[in-house]
Amino acid sequence: MHGWGASRLADHLETAVGAAGASKRPPPIEVSFVRELLPSAPPATPPAPPPRPKRRAAAAAPPPAPQPAASAPDAEPAPPQVADAASVPDASAFGAEATALAVAEAAPVEAATPAGAEVETGGEAVEAVEAVEAVEAVEAVEAVASAPAAPPFEWPPSTRLSYRLTGWYRGAVEGSAQVQWLREGERYQVHLEVVVGPTFAPLVARRMVSDGELTADGLRPRRYDEETSVIGRPTRRLTLFFDRDGVRLADGREVPRPDGLQDPSSQFVQMSWLFTLQPQLLRAGEAVEFPLALPRRVERWRYEVLDEQRLDTPIGSLDAVHVRPSRNVVRRGQDLSAEAWFAPTLQYLPVRILIRQDGENYVDMTLSSRPLQGP
């Protein structure tokens, strides 16, 4: 998403080096889009586990304190005895809650037993405490085991989003854009195409493709291709290659690959994945971070969650959450700042994307029709 613009922005691109840039691209995933995606309530978060029932146990007393000598009637009574630390379960074995219960049950008898009540003494009291502790520990383990698990995440089917493009670059510009999320087994592709001017004779066209695999940690890119065509100029191409431990940038340099690395096309799909699994991240004031591979470097990017806004679109009004990159990660004159609005009722897809070059030049992409999905 950080690759867009007209002639001046095209100058920021790197030309792929050597045979790397000329290597054969992965074949496109073939998909038929057969149905419209209608707004619906986002998936509910798993309910909190029910509170664990508490078992009332008979009060157990420590061994009785020695009686004061008959010759010293005015002597102060001996302080109450506290259960030995060895009788308290280890927190690492049963958890903090079970430990707190055991400590409370092992507290001085005076705090829990009414005056004059009979209490067990000696070994019987210790056995009673140990029995209660064992029952409480088993109940704690069972409560954790029986807590409802989060539903397994299911990647959405292949989806196509169409946008209307408006903006300003040395004058008003119009055009169209399209994002395609394609999946086949454990493989994915994200295709982004932006066109300024008529589709049959664009003034500027940019195509970006991320190809990779689906993992338990989200998208894992293997290759990123970018192609920019500006009327009156030769087409420019660049490619980023991702292997297990490193990234080959557009200028041929090799740099280490950090965990969770994304590319300009995959990043917003990765955020949709994060918001689906952790909807609490969409609260104002939250943020998401991940490393991002740009043509010249790999850096950690931070996106701040702002407010929720109601957007008027051709498919109706949609509530969407505004997400914007932190100002300290954008290098003025080098990076393009891409903001997005994610709609929870449309599978957390971006329904608006605003890309800025500076305070004056920008393109604004707004959803123009209902998303289409595969079978």
pLDDT digits (tens, 9 = 90+) for 73-102: 454 555 545 444 444 334 333 344 433 434
pTM: 0.67
| Structure confidence at residue 34 (pLDDT) | 93
Look at residue 365 in the predicted model and tell me its pLDDT: 95
Query: What distances in angstroms separate CA 128 from CA 52, 117, 131, 367, one per listed residue?
Result: 21, 17, 5, 68
Name the band, by pLDDT with cuts 50, 70 and 90, for residue 217: very high
Q: Is residue 369 pLDDT above 70, yes or no? A: yes
Upper half-sphere CA count for residue 314 (Cβ side, 13 Å)? 11
Q: What are the CA-CA distances from residue 214 to residues 5, 187, 221, 266 (Å)?
A: 30, 6, 9, 11
Report the percentage of the chain scoring pLDDT > 70.
62
pLDDT grade for 329, boundaries at 50, 70 and 90:
low
The pLDDT, as a whole number, for residue 265 is 94
Q: Is the pLDDT of residue 119 over 50?
A: no
Q: Mean pLDDT, the chain, as a whole number?
A: 76
pLDDT reading at 113 higher than 60:
no
Q: Which is it for the CA torsion 215, 217, 223, 229, positive or negative? A: positive
Residues 155-199: pLDDT tens digits? 889 999 999 999 998 889 999 999 999 999 999 999 999 999 888
Question: Terminal CA-to-CA distance of the chain, rounded, Å?
Answer: 27
| pLDDT at position 262 | 97
Of 6, 89, 12, 43, nearest in space to 297 by CA: 12
Q: How confident is the model at residue 123 (pLDDT cuts 50, 70, 90)?
A: low
Q: Of 359 and 269, which is predicted with more confidence?
A: 269
3-state helix, strand, coil in the chain (%, to 5): 20, 35, 45
220-235: burial string, b at 16+ Cβ within 10 Å, e else? bbbbbbbbbbbeeeee
Mean pLDDT of 291-317: 93
Q: What residues have CB less than 8 Å from 234, skipping those under 6 apart? A: none
Integer-rounded Cα Rg, in Å, for the chain is 31
Provide the 8-state DSSP code for 201. S
The residue-averaged pLDDT of 48-54 equals 48
Query: Strands, E, within the chain: which ranges?
Result: 35-36, 159-168, 172-184, 187-196, 204-215, 218-230, 236-242, 246-248, 254-256, 287-293, 298-313, 316-325, 337-343, 349-356, 362-367, 372-373
Tell me which residue has tokens 């949609």: 318
